[in-house]
Structure 1
Amino acid sequence: MSVATPTASADPPATPEGAPSRLAQWRWHLSVTALALALAVWITWPLWTDPYRQALTQNAGDQAFFEWLLGYGVHLLRAGGDPFFSQLLNAPLGVNLAANTSITVYIILFAPISWLLGPQISFVLILTLNLAAAAVVWYAFLLRHVTPVPAAAAVGGLFAGFAPGFVSHANGHLNWSAGWVAPAVLWWVLRLREPGRWLRNGAVLGLLLAIGFSIAAEGLFFTALASAVFLITWACARVHADEVRAAAAPLLKGLAVAAVVAGLLLAYPLYMHFAGPQSFSGTGFNQRRFVEDVVSTFAWSSGSLAGHAHLGSSFLAPNDTEQTSFFGLPLVVLVVVALGRLWRAAKPGRRATLRALMVVGAVFTVLSWGPRLQFLEIETPIPLPYAALAHLPLFDSALPARFALVVAGVIAVVLALAAERALTRTRRSSTWAVAFVVALVPLLPMPLQTMRRAPEPEFIASGDWQRYVPDGGVLSALPFAINTSPDAQRWQAYTLARGGPQFRIPDGYFLGPGGQNGTGQIGAPWRHTDWLFFRAARYGFVTRIDDYDRAQARADFAYWDVRAVFLPAEITGPDGMLFRSATEIAATDLLGPPEHVDDVLLWRIRPGVDPVTDGF
């Protein structure tokens, strides 16, 4: 079905008078691709300037996690293993990667680059290509199914690919920045209605679903939900009764084939996700905190041109990475006016499509508000529909604010239709041009903010660590790895990418069990020694170490089976460098004088030594 002209045919919408020739269309395709790539490089340029030493200011922890996954991809190809479970993190229990954003396809596909140039290069390359591909695939989808006018499709596609929410998620999220997954899946969902091709189309859709699940499972869930809402609303329009009957058989057959193909490909990862070791229900994030404020839809994000001009309202978001709507008042007004004009000029078939679009936009806007209405950072007692959904499977693992990302796709379709109308009608075209400029220019994405991060120690890069820890032994930098101090996980990631002997680490930044009422949480449940080093590094807190601390440390080290810990010259934190001197004082007081090895301080852990009588 085409948004522009609902029909049972697979042919694209009829080309209006004045549409470009095939050669001119290819020029448009290449121009849009070049512009999308240029914008993506512009956004990620601060990382490209020094990918080995630059970290995302807003989300250094997520960057480290995805770099670890990319290093793990090299390890899988060289040494084998389970793509969906690893014992290398969270010793001795391991981590269920299927229950995390494991981007399995990416870590395998980009393994050669991770091995040759390092996970740091793979990370920024994937991030850049994600943003560019999202705009290009949306452009192609809109040109195929919404409007035959390339300029109109370009407006919608570039907005969808670089919408404020997706640029915001470019702060570390290789899963959510993959905005190309949604239009690719939608493309083949619409193709399922083609008579006589249900087997091929269903198989391709099943493959896309498996790929989408491995890259952005939460986004795939949103796409499926939005497709269902749109198709049900659209099919309920009586004007489409004949088309619905004609498309029902191939659509249902294609969906059955897609379910079989996706089910076969995803049987093991789905088992691991829901019932495998170290699996959990829910999420480690508060669903009442990660919601959209009602006002945020009318505000500008900090990552936009308006935000850089100090017109943004990032305080309305739970954090800078979750500014998922922030469309700005001018764009909201433009979309409302455009819908009104399109509705008045539309025939019954087009009105049914516009109605379905509006329903999807309204449903996902309300879902993004979460369980209770929030207005100007104040949670009101007004309950919302998400309160009834929050404990259902899949919904319990989603963050409500992210539902607003679907609204960006709805806006992209409306912008494409409005731009087509403005470009194919000379009347008031200048007025529409001004409206588009006023609405979209403030949303122009700006480069990501970065900071300097600690360089990889020579102790790790040279492989000297192997003199102190056997292959498969447990080694960690101080403080132990978590999202606010991810260096220990980074050093392991870079070792994994080189191949050869490996070490395991305690803790790590991941989602695992341990939360309240059986839900997940960020990282492993904290032990006494975790807190001792965390408060020293994060807050510079130095306290006198007593025999109780030493006894607890001995128990914790025995639980982890740690053979050695080390302290580099610098420690990366969420906002810059952490308190390295305080960490050294705490470690020396607890473990005794360190050894100087290469560019780190090293403490060997002696198994079986009584901490009270013999110390460390």
Structure 2
Amino acid sequence: MSIASPAHPDVAPAIPARASRWRADLLVTGIALVLAVWVTSGLWIDPNGRAIKVNSSDQALFEWLLSYGARAITHGENPFFTHLIGFPDGANLAVNTSITVYAVLFAPLTFLVGAPATFLVILTLNLVATAYAWFWLLSRHLVSAKLAAATGALFIAFAPSMVSHANAHLNWTAGWLVPIVVWRVLRLRDGRWLRDGAILGVLVAVAFSIAAEGLFFIALACLVFLGVWSLSKATRAEARAALPGVLRGLGVTAVVGFALLAYPIWMHFLGPQRFHGTGFDARVHSEDIAGYFAFPQRSLAGIAGLDTRLAPNETEENSFFGLPLVLLTIAAFWYLWRVAAPGRRATLRALGVTALVFAVLSWGPAVKIFKNYTDFPLPYALLNPLPVFNAALPQRLALVVTPIVGLLLALLVDARPRGRVWLAAFAVALVPILPVNLLTVAREPIPTFITSGNWTSVVPAGGVMATVPFTLDTVPDGQRWQAYAWTHGQGEFSLASGFYLGPGGPDGRGRIGPVPRYTDGMLYEVAQSGVVPPIGPAEQAQARADVAYWRVDALVLADRIHGSKWPVQHDALLTATRALFGPGERVDDVWVWRMSPHQR
């Protein structure tokens, strides 16, 4: 609330109110920046030399995407398809998380400091921007107290789900998209449907580029929330009056969004190397019901040993609020409902139904509790076969619940309930889930063979290199080498494999990397197990046929190889590759096997 001057009731408070508002903005942004740097501090020590321990593969992929996007705009290449990985078939980046907008906006920084540093800057700014965007929406439109807005915003930005996805997910940590898109959707009822619809269309295109799956969830959440809100008796007339303008605005949004996204959407659904549905099991990648009451690993409770490790992996703790916060959220809803007017109750009802719907859907096609799988069916089983749903992971639907919890906490603080019990409840609920910094690990350096540019003496311009083992999610070094070569102006080489989603999975679904042949499959097994299988003339002939298929100019085995999930067995790889292709030659700090023209 502002206090108007009697002499100039409409003008006098503007400067003090504006100054107070910006002071609050700066304070919240500063707190968010400190928290974001703290969470990512392990990488800031050495952006080029360290990686996120539990997800260094995705970090390498996003670094590659940033460097490829920067290269695409400077070389006039297709940002949604490339033959530089997965050669000769190529990779459809439109069905992957291409983060084109980030790649373009941060291209100067990528060329200046390299993709790893750019990755870290974006990851940190994502957390800060999420906090500020929610604070702006809450403080300007939803609550009156700045403390209430700050509480909700900082919780949402550093909730367990956001900290979990800060393990290298530049798409899911872009939580700032949610309040901006939601705000523009709500603005459609103001009557300026042409302008507001066009703005929303641009935002939809940006969100699709950064996090297409997240945009899908935002649309579903808006549909559920507005549907429930519109059916309430207290808001039915308001909804009916706003409906024509909203529909016109959405029509403009569709036209603008389609104009901007026509090509990437075509590539996504009809382009080469497309697939329909991921190869991930929806039962495995569903949220454990007990996960909503568990504590996350990277939190005060987690490092105290109270985490339960109920997620499929550490990057997917999409709820993990802890029992005290669940109880506080229920109590907040009860208190707010008790003191609310009919119109506010309609909003609370819509929030509650939306949270419940997405919580149940996040449980996947069948009940899973405390890692025990059952055959008891759930509603998601009906959605799983549908297009788009079959390409999403049900457990991530829990991400919609986090902002709703944050909104309820903000509304509760804004209602100023009396008594120390509420303050104690906030402390008990929120202190255990305060974030700690992400675990990081030293990453093997890029070989001198690459950094010196000597690779150009082995692989001709536009040629094909095969790393040993072939580049995949568990051994992503090849794409790091590519990114370095591009951003340092050395030129380009294609990889015979790569870490990306492509066709070839079961039932026409996707898989990671290309369908393996004998040579890359065998070398991968050797890298993991250290066991070299018998290799004779038949295996050598098959290896030569594989090399010819990939049109490989050279195979390269580095002295130090980064394994994102397990240690790479270097000596066994050297033995196996020599048995297939001969002794090889030493160039700087790598072993090289040049392929003669008749072999490729």
Q: TM-score range by the shorter chain?
A: over 0.9
Mapped partners of 2:500, 2:391: distance in 1: 14
CA deviation profile, 1:131-188 (whole Å, cap 9, x unmatched) = 1111111111122332121110111111111111111111111111111111110010
Counterparts of 1:541 and 1:327 in 2: how far apart (Å)? 44
1:188 aligns with 2:184: yes
Which sections of structure 2, spanning at least 5 residues, go unmatched? Answer: 1-15
Cα pair 1:451 1:576 within 8 Å, conserved:
no
Which residue of the partner structure matches residue 236 of structure 1?
A: 231
Contact 1:182–1:223 (8 Å) recurs in 2: yes
What's the counterpart of residue 376 of structure 1? 370
1:229-378 equivalence runs, <5 A: 229-314=224-309, 316-378=310-372
Deviation at 1:21, TM superposition (A): 4.2
What is the CA distance between 1:367 and its match in structure 2? 0.6
CA contact (8 A) 2:466 2:497 kept: no
Matching residue of 2:218? 223
Say whether the 8 Å CA contact 2:197–2:251 is kept in structure 1.
yes
Aligned to 2:30: 34
Find the aligned partners of 2:567 and 2:34 in 1 and give their Cα distance: 32
Secondary structure of the structure 2 residue equivalent to 1:321:
coil
Query: In the alignment, which of 145, 153, 166 is matched to residue 149 of structure 2?
Result: 153
Q: How many residues in Structure 1 have an aligned counterpart in Structure 2?
A: 585
Corresponding residue SS for 2:495: coil
Structure 2 partner of 1:468: 458
Which of residues 443, 451, 474 is equivalent to 2:441?
451
Matched, 1:547 2:537: yes
Cα contact 2:355–2:401 (8 A) shared by 1: yes
Task: Tell me the residue number matched to 1:17.
Answer: none
User: Residue by residue, what CA displacement relative to the aligned partner does 1:12-42 show, whole Å, maximum 9, x if unpaired?
Assistant: xxxxxxxx94433222111000111111111
How far the C-alpha of 1:198 sits from its partner, in A, is 1.4
If the length of structure 1 is used for normalisation, what is the TM-score? 0.93
Q: Work out the CA distance in 1 between the residues paired with 2:246 and 2:579.
A: 69
Contact 1:74–1:499 (8 Å) recurs in 2: no
Displacement after TM superposition at 1:242 (Å): 2.6
Determine whether 1:562 maps to 2:552: yes
- Amino acid aligned to 1:31: L
For the Cα contact (< 8 Å) 1:452–1:576, is it kept in 2?
no
Deviation at 1:487, TM superposition (A): 0.6
Inter-partner Cα distance in structure 2 for 1:141 and 1:393: 33
Which of 171, 175, 184 in structure 2 is aligned with 1:179?
175
* One-letter identity of the residue aligned with 2:131: A
SS in 1 for 2:375: strand
In structure 1, C-alpha distance between the alignment counterparts of 2:75 and 2:488, rounded to whole Å:
11
Deviations 1:447-506 (A, max 9, x none): 111111110111111211111211111012211011100011111121122235210001
Partner SS state of residue 447, structure 1: coil
Deviations along 1:48-93, one digit per CA (max 9) or x if unpaired, are 1111111111111111111111111221122111010011000000
Q: Which digits, 9 at most, give the CA deviation of each residue in 1:184-215, with x for residues without a partner?
A: 100100111112x2111111110000000000
1:198 matched residue in structure 2? 193
2:97 is the alignment partner of 1:87: no
Structure 1 position 516 matched with structure 2 position 512: no
Structure 1 unmatched ranges of 5 or more:
1-19, 611-616
Paired residue type of 2:256: V
- 1:402 paired residue number: 396
Q: CA deviation at 1:576?
A: 6.0
CA distance in 2 between counterparts of 1:178 and 1:540 reads 40
SS in 2 for 1:238: coil
CA distance in structure 2 between the aligned counterparts of 1:405 and 1:321, rounded to whole angstroms:
12
SS at match of 1:336: helix
Cα shift readout 1:535-579 (whole Å, capped 9, x = no counterpart):
222222223322222122111111110010111120101246422
> Percent of pairs identical after alignment?
52
2:219 partner letter: A
Equivalent position of 1:49 in the other structure: 45
Using the alignment, how far apart are the partners of 1:382 and 1:490 within structure 2? 44
User: In structure 1, what is the equivalent of residue 115 of structure 2?
Assistant: 119
Distance 1:576 1:136 in 2: 38
The alignment status of 1:78 with 2:74, answered yes or no, reads: yes
**Partner Cα distance (2:385, 2:371) in 1:** 24
Q: What SS does structure 1 have at the residue aligned with 2:279?
A: coil
**1:480-535 deviations in Å (ceiling 9; x for gaps):** 01110001111112112223521000111111100111111111111111122112
- Secondary structure at 2:591 match in 1: strand
Query: Quick one: distance in 1 between partners of 2:179 and 2:540?
Result: 56
CA distance in structure 1 between the aligned counterparts of 2:305 and 2:167, rounded to whole angstroms: 19
